[in-house]
Every structure is written in C-alpha cells, then in structure tokens.
Amino acid sequence: MRSLRAKTFKNWFDHNLKEYAGDIANHGADCGYPYITYTRDTVRLFDRYGSAIWEMAVEDAESMGHRNVAEMLAEFRRTDMMDDLDRFKNLMVWYACEKLARDLEDAREARRG
C-alpha cells in the first residue's frame, strides 16, 4: 500500500485512487481497486483516517435526513459487513471512497457543463 502519510483521507484518495474515481462512482468500491481490496488494507486506512471518515458519514447522515450514521448505514446494500469490527471499518472506507469518487465525478460533470 502506498504511504499513509497523507494528512487527510481526501489527499490519500487523490494520490492513490483518483484515476479510478469514475469506476468507483459508477460500480462501487467493492469491485477490487488497488489499496481497498483487502480488509487488512482498509483496516489500516480506517485506523489512520477513521475520524475524518466518521465526520463525512455524520455530515451525510444529517444532510440525508437520518437521525444518525447507524440509520444511514442500515440502507447500504452491504449491511452484512456490520457484524465484525474489521468488516465495519472496511465498509466505512468503501463508503468514503465512493463519496469522494462521486464528488470528483460531479465536479467533472459540472466543468463539462
């Protein structure tokens, strides 16, 4: 895995996965991309950037009208991953990657006008 020295998760994503943003946005982060395929790697990412990822989830939950993050996560198609701490961390990293990928794709679409 490339360095975890990036100060923010967004910086890490831009450095490692930006080129896959379109595919991640369209097909999901669970399709086998570098650095986010194996649970051991996503756990390391969550352990490093978990606070920022959690803040993203709190903001999204609030903006979507959910009472909390748990209520938002209950709507994810991969709720099967919420029965184990490492799998939960994996799910949260995938969520954050998909969010950043969608944000990048939205910005690209806006530039195309």
Look up residue 58 and give its amino acid: V
Give me the mean pLDDT over the 24-48 stretch.
Answer: 96
Count of structural domains within the chain: 1
CB atoms within 10 A of CB 73: 19
Q: How confident is the model at residue 99 (pLDDT cuts 50, 70, 90)?
A: very high
pLDDT digits (tens, 9 = 90+) for 5-18: 889 999 999 999 99
Q: What's residue 72's pLDDT?
A: 93
* Residue 44 lies inside a defined structural domain of this protein: yes
97 within some domain: yes
Structural domain includes residue 38: yes
Q: Rounded to whole angstroms, how far apart are CA atoms 101 and 113?
A: 18
pLDDT of residue 5: 80
Q: Provide the b/e sequence for 31-44 (b: ≥16 CB within 10 Å).
A: eebebbeeeeebbb
On whether residue 91 sits in a domain, the answer given is: yes
The Cβ of residue 85 has, within 10 Å, a number of other Cβ atoms equal to 10
Q: Tell me the per-residue pLDDT of 74-94, one tens digit each, with 9 for 90 and over.
A: 898 788 888 999 999 999 999
The percentage of the chain sitting over the pLDDT mark of 70, rounded to a whole number, equals 97
Closest CA to 10 of 81, 103, 108, 111: 103
Whether 101 and 22 have beta carbons less than 8 Å apart is answered as yes
21-25, 46-50, 72-76, 83-87: which range is least confident on average? 72-76
What residue numbers bound the domain in which 71 lies? 9-112
- Other beta carbons within 10 Å of 59: 12
Report yes or no on 3 lying in a domain.
no
- The answer to whether position 4 is within a domain reads no
Angstrom distance (rounded) from CA 49 to CA 36: 14
Q: Does residue 16 lie within any of the structural domains?
A: yes
How much is the mean pLDDT over the chain?
93
Give domain status of residue 75, yes or no.
yes
Tell me: pLDDT of 4 over 80.
no
Q: What is the pLDDT of residues 53-65, one digit of tens each?
A: 999 999 999 999 9
